[in-house]
Chains A and B, each alone.
Chain A
Amino acid sequence: MARIPRSQRIITGFLIISGILAFLYAGISSSLAIIITNRPPKPITTTPTSQGLNYRDVTFLSREDHLTLRGWLIPGILPSGRLTVDRTVIQVHGENNNRAMVLEIDAALARQGIAILTFDSRGNGESSTAPGGGGYFEQRDILGAVDFLQSGPLPYPELGRPKAIGGWGISVGGDALIYAAAQEPAIKTIVVDSAYATLAEYMEHAFGPYFVFIPGTRYAATMFYGLDYGNVRPVDVIAKIAPRPIFLIQGAADIDILPSNMTELAIAASTAPGAHVQTWLVPKAHHIQAYNLERNTYIERLVTFFDTEL
């Protein structure tokens, strides 16, 4: 039996190690792409009744890919006690959440005469199972909500159709809203809380020390779901919303989506002629915690904004 030369032993070891690393990398990247885009839906444990609100269940389809989305239409309450949907705000929750995310604030808006259409975006709550797109795919859900408000079978036919539609999105819901508003002029104004400027930047931050898996995960997500993280850039489309007003909110202590994201979005939005951009950096607030930390001010500013701009 001839002795195996050292060079061959080294190369054999190298081939084994490189093979193990390559397959591990491919496996982990593929799994991450699947995990990130497919989270188990969070159950809905409350209804607007808990806030003493009148509401009805609604079902509509997303624009383009026709997914079934479920939500609630909460009419606004006028000082006379009469219900109204004249001014309706589409409320878009954040990642891995559902339509009941901010019912307290929905209630505050409703009591100011602003109707709320809150729904489970794709893959969440009771809506169709589908891959999440970090806000990119979810824009179709918002556009579906606009179509529903404009021409769908509304559950309060006696109240007519909304005369003005606004949007309020939280985290990736805010990004979805930026995308939707940029292409749908029926959305008259938007409030965006804790949105990222580019998904790639957000991923880089979210992956932290595991950044080496970013390119693999990005490639896998593109192949598996048609979602290229590198091309999800709300900062590139936000200027198209002008001259419609935009209100950007951000927690100053947010470590998931850094405050610089709001600055980037605000600068980009302001480049358009006739742009109307307001910002609010909430001191000490972590990710999507502005409304928990500054509850009264949050509600007051939101109501004032929609009262003025919608």
Chain B
Amino acid sequence: MKRMRSEHENKISIITTSITGTEDEDSSSIWHILVLTLAPLYLLIIIGAITLSLIMLDRHAILLTNFVLQQAIFIVILIVGMTAAIIVYSLEVKHALRKIGMWRQNGQIKQANFGLLVLAIVGSIMILPIILALFFH
């Protein structure tokens, strides 16, 4: 099954390689790489936004006079959001790295390098708040 899938992916890859060369396809390939390698970041942003929105909703929907309930719900949302963020980040990074490895195997070195560069930027953006906090607290 695994071998079949691998052969199938190779075929797709060969087709992709054979049709590259025109500008349109180059740009669609860039978009494909960006969508794939930026996924850990934008999915984190989406999960973060949903988590914070739910926390704000909890804060506004439940009165402060019922703070214990408000706080309990808010902590559950926070834990679930954080766990989801960690899982999604790990899976997406793993997926992007596997894909990059595949491109490299198929001789698509430029795509692989570009993908790695975008992933390096993702890593830098992840660590940026801590760097900023060190200097602008």
Contacts and interface: CB of A to CB of B under 8 A. Distances in A.
A22 B71 contact: no
A67 to B, nearest CB: 6
B1 interface: no
Contact of A18 (B90, B127, B136): B127
B67 A2 contact: no
A16 B130 CA distance: 15
Nearest to A27: B82
A67 B65 contact: yes
A158 interface: no
Contacts of B132: 215
Interface in A203-250: 204, 211-216, 223-226
Nearest to B89: A19
A7 interface: yes
Given A21-B127, A128-B67, A212-B133, A224 B55 contact: yes
A213 B133 contact: yes
B2 to A, nearest CB: 14
A204 B122 CA distance: 30
B129 to A, nearest CB: 7
A131 interface: yes
A5 B104 CA distance: 9
Contacts of B124: 18
Tell me what chain A mostly uses at the interface: helix, strand, loop, or mixed. Answer: helix
Contacts of B74: 224
Contacts, number: 97
Given A38-B71, A223-B56, A12 B133 contact: no
In this complex, the interface size class of chain A, counting residues with CB under 8 Å from chain B, is 35 or more
A34 interface: yes
A212 B119 contact: no
A130 interface: yes
A4 B56 contact: no
A66 to B, nearest CB: 6
A30 B81 CA distance: 12
Interface of A: 2, 4-5, 7-8, 11-12, 14-19, 21-23, 25-27, 30, 34, 38, 65-68, 128-131, 204, 211-216, 223-226
Given A26-B82, A216-B129, A224-B74, 9 more contacts: A4-B101, A14-B120, A15-B97, A21-B130, A22-B126, A27-B82, A65-B65, A129-B67, A130-B67
21 contacts: A2-B104, A11-B119, A12-B97, A15-B40, A18-B123, A19-B86, A19-B93, A21-B127, A22-B126, A22-B130, A25-B130, A65-B64, A67-B64, A68-B65, A129-B68, A211-B137, A213-B133, A215-B129, A215-B133, A223-B52, A223-B55
